[in-house]
């Protein structure tokens, strides 16, 4: 049922005046049927095919761009001295930042017992994994000879060399690989009971085998659930410091260098907040069309959109503090180089990128997200999500390019203009990400049925009287 057909009393809880997390009238069975019905049907909507064609086209562009890169080398990109970190590192940081919101929703909000996160946690986690897939690719292809990437791993080689553990770039290898592994494990563990539901409801032989193997024989025993809950809680407790460490380590890649614009202690918290800011924007970009397309307005309600708007408001202000502190330190440090960097960043030949960033990350969202009316307006929030995603991409552009292109020696100044291969690689990862996400939506449970069922009124244990069935 689309939102427009719902009566206000279904969507707003009269007791609190807040939008409900799950609209009233849902039962255990209706939740199962709604989520399983999306996947366990032989009919794939035409819209899915249309989107998959577009996204698959994007992924093909990526394949072409990367193939040419492997044949010709990184010279096809715009990177050179002084800007040796171009689109590749911008995109790496942008994608991995997007991933962080998924972990925040699934882990940190679980620790804070935020029940509303239950219905959006699964696809936010999926978003994390696909974003990390896109992110992880960039440093590898940026090395120029990705077939030697295993040199970064601490494995015994015939050359008898070992990695250099004092470098933040090496820390990055461990942080990102751990993050990818733990995210996949967390996602899969969370999915096992829902896959068991699919196994039991699948009509096709292939589906029964596939979901049967994937669900590992899960049968919902109370003992199993207890251990499962403990493991989920522990994984959240572990993923929380992990997600904070990943973007901190990425910011070390910059902050440990002596370059003005990078060498600053504000970077770790400001990177983490920025990551969550852009990640929530991406969750909105995905959730808003999804709930419309699959009619999930009962499960992903205005409450979710509203709460995500609040998180974006808070993290947006941390990011604003970071920008402010960079400007302040440029003045307060009394360093000639720092002051010039900041002036150049704002008013130099690439100053436009700084103002795009200020407009998209501060001016538009931080002035309007205060309004509850706008936070619960679906078209406006979709607009904001695109704006913030753009702004956060430009933030990384500003950090990477405007710090590098005019450093200490004017004789070594240069400029940066991305080539078509840079753009193709970036657009290609957007295609890859969307393709993976569409496959996930088609074949896996995108909303955790077992977690949503906990939120239903029927799940409340009544001590004496015989409770009403299902609801």
Residue numbers 424-463 binding other proteins by CB under 8 A:
449-451, 453-454, 458-463
In DSSP notation, 132-170 reads: HHHHHHHHHHHTS-GGGGGGGS----TT-----TTSHHH
Question: Residue 393: exposed, middle, or buried by beta-carbon count in 10 A (0-12, 13-18, 19+)?
Answer: buried
* Least CB distance to other proteins at residue 216 (A): 4
d(CA 183, CA 179): 6
What is the C-alpha separation between 244 and 327, in angstroms, rounded? 24
- Residue 154 near other proteins by CB under 8 A: yes
Q: Over the range 249-268, which residues count as b (16 or more CB within 10 Å of their CB) and which as e?
A: bbbbbbbbeebbbbbbebbb
Question: Is residue 22 a contact residue for other proteins (CB under 8 A)?
Answer: no
419 near other proteins, rule: CB under 8 A: no
Asked if 469 is part of the footprint of other proteins (rule: CB under 8 A), the reply reads yes
Q: What gap in Å lies between CA 97 and CA 103, rounded to an integer?
A: 10
231 binds other proteins (CB under 8 A): yes
At its nearest, how many Å lie between other proteins and the CB of residue 239?
7
Closest contact distance (angstroms) between CB of 185 and other proteins is: 5
**205 sits near other proteins (criterion: CB under 8 A):** no
> Considering the rule CB under 8 A, would residue 157 count as an interface residue with other proteins?
no
Minimum CB distance to other proteins, residue 283 (Å): 23
Binding of residue 175 to other proteins (CB under 8 A): yes
Q: Is 19 helix (H, G, I), strand (E, B) or coil?
A: strand
Site membership for other proteins, residue 110 (CB under 8 A): no
x/- contact string, 297-316, with other proteins (CB under 8 A)?
--------------------
Q: Return the number of the residue (213 or 327) whose C-beta is nearest other proteins.
A: 213
Of residues 243 through 262, those in contact with other proteins by CB under 8 A are 245, 249, 252
- 414-435 residues labelled b (16+ CB within 10 A) or e (exposed): eebebeebbebbbebbbbbbbb
- Dist. CA 419–CA 408, nearest whole Å: 26
Q: Is 41 in the site for other proteins (CB under 8 A)?
A: no
Stretch touching other proteins by CB under 8 A, among 71-79, 159-167, 378-386, 391-399:
159-167
Binding segment toward other proteins, per CB under 8 A, in 79-87, 192-200, 272-280, 419-427: 192-200
Q: Which of 63, 149, 226, 327 binds other proteins (CB under 8 A)?
A: 226
| Residue 37 near other proteins by CB under 8 A | no
**CA torsion sign, 38 to 39 to 43 to 48?**
positive
Is residue 63 close enough to count as binding other proteins by CB under 8 A? no
CB of 19 to other proteins, least distance (A): 23
| Nearer Cβ to other proteins (103/361) | 103
Q: Which is nearer to other proteins, 176 or 311 (CB)?
A: 176
Phi, psi of 257 (to 5 degrees): -70, 160
The β-bridge partners of 12 are: 19
Bridge partners, residue 224, by sequence? none
């Amino acid at each position: 049922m689309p939102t427009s057909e719902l009566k206000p009393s279904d969507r707003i809880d009269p007791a609190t005046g807040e939008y409900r997390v799950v609209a009233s009238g849902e039962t255990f069975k209706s939740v199962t049927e709604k989520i399983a019905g999306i996947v366990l049907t032989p009919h794939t909507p035409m819209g899915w095919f249309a989107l998959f064609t577009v996204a698959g086209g994007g992924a093909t562009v990526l394949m072409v761009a990367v193939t040419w890169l492997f044949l010709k080398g990184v010279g096809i990109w715009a990177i050179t001295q002084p800007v040796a970190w171009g689109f590749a590192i911008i995109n790496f940081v942008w994608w991995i930042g997007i991933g962080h919101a998924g972990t925040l929703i699934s882990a940190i909000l679980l620790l804070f017992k935020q029940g509303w996160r239950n219905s959006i946690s699964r696809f936010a986690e999926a978003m994390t994994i696909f974003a990390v897939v896109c992110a992880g690719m960039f440093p590898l292809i940026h090395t120029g000879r990705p077939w030697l990437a295993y040199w970064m791993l601490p494995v015994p080689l015939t050359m008898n060399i070992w990695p250099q553990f004092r470098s933040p770039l090496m820390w990055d290898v461990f942080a990102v690989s751990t993050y990818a592994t733990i995210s996949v494990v967390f996602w899969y563990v969370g999915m096992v009971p829902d896959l068991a539901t699919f196994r039991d409801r699948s009509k096709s032989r292939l589906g029964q085998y596939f979901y049967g193997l994937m669900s590992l024989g899960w049968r919902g025993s109370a003992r199993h659930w207890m251990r499962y809950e403990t493991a989920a809680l522990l994984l959240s407790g572990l993923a929380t410091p992990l997600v904070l460490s990943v973007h901190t380590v990425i910011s070390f890649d910059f902050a440990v260098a002596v370059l003005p614009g990078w060498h600053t202690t504000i970077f770790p918290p400001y990177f983490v907040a920025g990551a969550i800011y852009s990640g929530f924007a991406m969750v909105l970009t995905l959730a808003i069309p999804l709930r419309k397309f699959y009619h999930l307005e009962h499960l992903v309600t205005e409450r979710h959109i509203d709460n995500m708007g609040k998180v974006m408001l808070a993290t947006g202000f941390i990011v604003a503090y970071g920008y402010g502190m960079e400007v302040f330190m440029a003045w307060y440090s009394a360093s000639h180089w720092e002051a010039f960097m900041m002036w150049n960043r704002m008013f130099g030949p690439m100053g436009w990128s700084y103002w795009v960033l200020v407009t998209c990350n501060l001016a538009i969202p931080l002035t309007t997200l205060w309004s509850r009316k706008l936070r619960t307006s679906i078209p406006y929030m979709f607009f904001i999500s695109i704006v913030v995603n753009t702004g956060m991409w430009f933030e990384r552009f500003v950090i990477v390019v405007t710090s590098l292109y005019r450093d200490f020696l004017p004789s070594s100044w240069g400029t940066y203009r991305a080539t078509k291969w840079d753009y193709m690689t970036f657009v290609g990862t957007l295609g890859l990400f969307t393709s993976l996400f569409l496959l996930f939506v088609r074949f896996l449970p995108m909303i955790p049925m077992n977690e949503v069922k906990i939120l239903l009124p029927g799940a409340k244990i009544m001590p004496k009287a015989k409770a009403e069935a299902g609801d």
